[in-house]
Amino acid sequence: MTADDVIQSYVTDVALKLPRASRNDVAFELRALLHEALQAKAGDAGRPADEAMAIEVLQSFGPPSAVAARYSPTLTIIDPADGPRFLRWTIVGLVIIWVLGLVSNLTQPITSGSDLLRALGHWWVATVIPSPCWPGVLVVGFGASAWKRRRSVQPPSWRPRSADSIRGGRGAIALGLLYTLSGLIVLLGRRWLLEVLSGGRAAPAAYDAITFTDSFLHRQAPVALALMLLHVAMLIGALVSGRWTALLRRIELVANLAWCAVLGWIILDGPVVVAPGGDRVVKPILALLIVVSLFDVGLKSYRRVRPRPALQGQTQGRVSG
């Protein structure tokens, strides 16, 4: 084969790996580029180009698949900037799914080792194996977000935000307050709420399903009530002032950790409701609240930025200079 034949074979292999619409243009450009490289090498060697020299030049360019990849449009589903966030959401979501599934299976009556193995097997088949659907959902969501950003004519403008500002505004505080008040209604006014919703015609089993055990009412309920009232006061303070002060943030951290500890105490201490089997519904919900609360604490800690004194001093020195 002549040197031109070798180059033509290489160009053809590259072009066949590209979309038909761009094959000819890329082939023309690549062939001219390779001929220039071959002529330069022949000039440096002081002899005419031959098959061996052409192969040597082509090997320096890489295999045809790699060259074709350089000319192919890159299909990016998730923007590189979103990669770490996608990974965090994937791990957190899978952990939540696995923990809730495990708690749900372990709350079943387990009286022997075979019952435990059966529960773990059901958890594996019904929870762990289908759980990769969660990363698939995230791929669709992150991909749609990236597509929307690329289609945007004008990128969003950046605005400075105070370190004490409320993420989500007062609306987020109002939602948190509504969530806490809902918990207070469940703890204090559940029977009244059931009578209002049912018109006083609820079955006795429905009342049993919302009747707490004496152990819970005398042990964990007062502590849970105190934490809820503290949370309400804290949210009202943030709502009125319009910002999170350093004191409110410390109170929030301690209250959230105490709340997780109380929920864990409730789960491990014994029955919560009088109705048989009611804990199979209640305790997985409490476990989910623990996971969500710990995730919130971890996320806020992760997002906190505290420059080291040395770096802060260097920055101030540059600004003053």
* 22-75 pLDDT tens trace: 888 888 998 999 989 989 988 888 888 888 888 988 888 888 888 888 887 667
pLDDT of res. 244:
76
8 Å CB contact between 262 and 227? yes
Q: Once rounded to an integer, what is the mean pLDDT over residues 159-172?
A: 62
Q: How many DSSP H helices and E strands does the chain contain?
A: 14, 0
Dihedral pair phi/psi, residue 299, rounded to 5°: -65, -45
- What is the percent of the chain where pLDDT is above 90? 12
Write down which residue in 42, 71, 100 finishes a domain: 71
The pLDDT of residue 95: 87
Q: What six digits make up the tokens of 75?
A: 């299909």
Same-domain status, 174 and 226? yes
Q: What is the pLDDT of residue 109?
A: 73
Each as own residue / partner, the long-range contacts of residues 75-79 (CB below 8 Å, 24 or more positions apart, any chain) are 76/146, 77/139, 77/142, 77/143, 77/146, 78/139, 78/142, 78/143, 78/146, 79/142, 79/146, 79/149
* Whether residues 94 and 183 fall in one domain: yes
Tell me: the pLDDT tens digits for 112-153? Answer: 778 788 888 888 998 999 999 999 999 999 888 888 877 765
Q: Taking 70 as the threshold, does the pLDDT of residue 161 lie above it? A: no
Note the pLDDT tens digit of each residue in 214-270.
Answer: 888 899 999 999 999 998 888 888 888 777 777 888 888 899 999 999 999 998 888
The pLDDT value given to residue 136: 92
Mean pLDDT of 269-296: 84
| 76 in a structural domain | no
Report pLDDT for 257: 93
Residues 147 and 252 in one domain: yes
- Judge contact between 296 and 256, C-beta under 8 A: yes
pLDDT tens digits, one per residue of 82-93: 888 898 889 988
Question: How sure is the predictor about 164, in pLDDT bands with cuts at 50, 70 and 90?
Answer: low
Can you give the pLDDT at residue 169? 63
State the maximum Cα–Cα separation within the chain, in Å, rounded to a whole number.
Answer: 103
Do both 100 and 11 map to the same domain? no
Do 15 and 118 fall within a single domain?
no
Which pLDDT value is given to residue 306?
66
What digits encode the pLDDT tens for the residues 178-222?
A: 888 888 887 888 778 777 777 777 777 777 777 888 888 899 999
DSSP letter at 63 equals: -
* pLDDT greater at residue 310 or residue 309: 309
User: What are the CB-based long-range contacts (under 8 Å, 24+) for 255-260?
Assistant: 255/227, 255/230, 255/231, 256/293, 256/296, 256/297, 257/297, 258/227, 259/227, 259/231, 259/293, 260/290, 260/293, 260/294
Q: How many domains does the chain have?
A: 2
| Residues 8 and 58 sit within 8 Å (Cβ to Cβ) | no
Task: Decide if 29 contacts 5 (C-beta within 8 A).
Answer: no
Mean pLDDT of 99-117: 78
In terms of domains, do 227 and 111 share one? Answer: yes
pLDDT at residue 318 in the model: 47
Domain residues for the domain of 12 are 3-71
Same domain? For 116 and 8 the reply is no
* Domain annotation covers residue 321: no
Specify the pLDDT at position 226: 92
Does residue 191 form part of some domain? Answer: yes
Domain C-terminal end among 50, 71, 92: 71
